[in-house]
Structure 1
Amino acid sequence: MTGPLPADFWDRIADRYAKRPIDDPDAYQAALERTRSHLRPQDDVLELGCGTGSTALLLAPEVGRYTASDLSPRMIEIGGEKAAAEGVGNLEFIAADLSNPQLSDRPRDAVLALNLLHLLEDLPEALSRVHAMLRPGGLFISKTVCPISGRVPIKLRLMLWALPVMQWLGKAPYVNFMSTDELETAITQAGFEIIETGNYPASPPSRYVVARRL
C-alpha cells in the first residue's frame, strides 16, 4: 500500500488546517516581527509553502508585491478566498511546487519558506532553486522544525515512533529531521551568508534563519 501524492495529502487536510489555531502564538509573533524587520515597502516577495495564506495576509500589505505559493490547490483556493474577503490587492496566490517556472519568472527581493524545509526530500536541490529565484543580495528567510536534544516528552516520542506507520498509510507527510547545524550548513553550501538565527519556539526548536544570497 502506498500513500497519496504530496499535493493530495495537503488538499485533503486543507480545510481542517485552515481552522486550526496557531500552536504557539508568542513564537509565531516573534518570528513574524523579525521577518517584518527585514522587509521593505518596495520589496517583491515570494513565499513558498504558504498553506492557506495566514502569514501572507499579514505581510503583504507591508511590501510592494507578494506572491504566495503552495503545491496544494485547495490550500491556495482557501488563501485566495481570504485575500479577496480582506481586500488585499498586492497578493497573488499560485498553486505550484518549487520546479514551476512561474516562481522563477523574475528575481525576488526576498523568498520565505516558513515551516517547509523539513518537508522536502531533496533539500540541496530546493535551496539551489531558491538561490536562483533571488536577486544578488536578496534574502532567504526560513523557519524549520529541528530535532530536540536532551529529554523528549513522552507524547512527542510516541508521535515520532508512529510517524513511519502514518506515512505508509498516507496520513502523514515526509519529514526530514535535521539538526540546526545540518540545516545551516546546507543553506551556506547553497550560496548564502547567514545573517540572523533564532529559535521560535525554543522547544521543540523551530530554527529561524535569515540568509543573504551571495
Structure 2
Amino acid sequence: MAVAWTNDMTSSTRFWDKTARKYAASPIKDEDAYQKTLARTLEHLGPKDNVLELGCGTGSTALIMDGNVRSYLATDFAPGMIRIADEKLEAEKTRGKLHDGLRFLTADVFSESVEVPEGYDAILGFNFLHLVENPEDLLARVHGLLKPGGLFISKTVCLADKAWLFVPLIKAMQLVGKAPFVRVYSFASVEDMISRTGFDIIETGTYPEPRSRFIVARKA
C-alpha cells in the first residue's frame, strides 16, 4: 500500500484512515507476484542493513522482511494503518515471534523522526509512487536519507496505456471520496523520474503483468 504524500495531508489521511480496516481484511490480489516482489527485494538486502519502508499500510510486508535485516522502520502517515500494524506486531510477539528490529511509526518521509545519522542501506516503497502528489520532492528526500550506494526499491502501478479508461473513473470516485489521488505513469516515465533524481537503475521487473513496475535503484 502507498499513501499520497502532500503538503496538505488532511484529505488523504482521512481516506486511508477510513479504509484501513477494509484494506487489512482484503486478500492479496496476486500472491505469486507478491512473493516474487519479496524474493527479488530480499536478494538486495542483508543482515547488517538498516531499512526504511514508506507507505507500509498495515505492516504485512514489514512483518515478513524485518527478520532478514538489522533494523526495519515501517512508516505510514495514516494513524489507522499503523494502529493495525501495531496490533499485528503484538499478536506475533504473543505467539513468540519477537521482531526485535521492527518498529512501526506514524510519519511521512519528510518527518525528522525517520532520520538516522548513518543513513539507510535501503528504502522501500511498494504500490506507492502512483499515489504521491509530489514525487520529485519525495525522491529527493529518499536520496538524501540513503547512504552512498544505498538502494531505493519500489513497485509502482503504471496505468498510462489505459488512462482513457481509468482516469475518468478515478476522478468520478474521487468526487465522492471513494478514491485517493492517483498519478498516471508509464514504465518509461517512472524510471526516467527516478533516474533524474540521482539514481542508477540496476534492476526492473513487472510483477504482476502488465502494469506493476518493480525497480531497484542505487544512489549514485
Tell whether the structures are fold-level matches, with TM greater than 0.5: yes
Aligned to 2:180: 173
**C-alpha distance in structure 1 between counterparts of 2:44 and 2:90, whole Å:** 26
Select which of 165, 169, 193 maps to 1:162: 169
Offset at residue 161 of structure 1 (A):
2.8
Select which of 55, 59, 63 maps to 2:65: 59
Aligned to 2:25: 19
Letter in 1 for 2:110: S
Letter in 1 for 2:187: T
Select which of 78, 81, 93 maps to 2:104: 93
Offset at residue 212 of structure 1 (A):
0.4
**C-alpha distance in structure 2 between counterparts of 1:60 and 1:187, whole Å:** 25
> Does 2:139 correspond to 1:127?
yes
Aligned to 2:158: 146
Aligned to 2:200: 193
Aligned Cα root-mean-square deviation (Å): 1.7
- The runs of 5 or more residues in structure 1 that have no matched partner are none
Aligned to 1:137: 149
Offset at residue 160 of structure 1 (A):
4.1
> Does 2:21 correspond to 1:9?
no
Alpha-carbon contact 2:123-2:153 (below 8 Å) kept: yes
> Does 2:60 correspond to 1:49?
no
CA deviation map 1:118-146 (0-9, x unaligned): 00111110100100110000010000000
CA deviation map 1:25-66 (0-9, x unaligned): 011110110001110001000000000000000000111000
**C-alpha distance in structure 2 between counterparts of 1:64 and 1:207, whole Å:** 27
Select which of 69, 89, 94 maps to 1:83: 89
CA deviation map 1:44-90 (0-9, x unaligned): 00000000000000000111000000010010011011112112221
**C-alpha distance in structure 2 between counterparts of 1:60 and 1:202, whole Å:** 27
Q: Give the secondary-structure state (helix, strand or coil) at the position aligned to 2:209.
A: coil
**C-alpha distance in structure 1 between counterparts of 2:158 and 2:169, whole Å:** 18
Letter in 2 for 1:90: G
> Does 2:125 correspond to 1:113?
yes
- TM-score between both structures, scaled by the size of structure 2: 0.89
Offset at residue 102 of structure 1 (A):
1.1
